[in-house]
Amino acid sequence: LWWATPEAVKVWGKALENENFIVLDDFLPQEDAQALVQVARRLRGQMAPGKTDDAIAAAGRGDQITWVKPDEIPELGALVEHLNGLVTLMMELPEASAAQTRLSQVSALSDAQFAMFPGGVTPDDARYIRHVDNEDGLNGRLLTCTFYLNENWDAEEHGGEIRLFQADQRTVKADIAPVFNRLVSFFSDSSMPHEVRRTRRERDAITIWYINQDMHLAYHQAEDDGQ
């Protein structure tokens, strides 16, 4: 795995430290990535519109999603194994690393979210407006890992980039195309606002979050209790 070599870790470790995100192409062996493309197609029939607690964000969210437990989909095994390896390398960054400190509370990983943007023709049905995965710091999400499944993707023609912002939520940090076998990983807190740009072709991704499980469970228990 090219991204696990000491030389590569030194490069992306510095990027994570300075920019709060990394992009790793050819993250999985080709056959494992191809298998996940087939899984995403197979799951289309059980997808439903994505929801969010924020009414404004919900109105600007056009994806179809389904959640699966990684151990229920054998083809997810390679992705989870490689993500665990990546996060282990993150946690082994030099002790002075802020990244290591921010990940010190990781105790579990979430279920896998399969998401498909339909590539619609109206402005609001194929995008996800700017948001933060853990804006108030309470839902337990610490690290977002999104893996893309889109073969022959042309960003100029198809759009669909994930746009990353500075913490001010205005300054654009990067536009990243959702190309096949690409992983984008970033901290889930307010340092990384992001959005999905309007897409003109079906766009598939899998997202897994590394979480503080106690905080995550408490957050959802409070939701269930109406707090």
Fill in the DSSP letter of residue 121: S
CB 164 within 8 A of CB 197: no
pLDDT given at position 56: 47
pLDDT given at position 128: 74
As a whole number of angstroms, the distance between CA 153 and CA 218 comes to 39
Indicate if the alpha-carbon torsion angle 135, 146, 114, 50 is positive or negative. Answer: positive
Three-point CA angle 171, 176, 177, nearest 5°:
145
Per the structure block, which two tokens stand in for 76?
A: 């997810």
Q: C-alpha distances in angstroms, 88 versus 52, 57, 207?
A: 30, 33, 18
Q: How many residues are recorded in the chain?
A: 227
Q: Who contacts 103 (Cβ-Cβ below 8 Å, separation ≥6)?
A: 87, 90, 91, 142, 143, 210
* Positions of the chain with pLDDT lower than 70, given as ranges: 52-60, 95-96, 120-127, 223-227
pLDDT given at position 63: 84
pLDDT given at position 8: 97
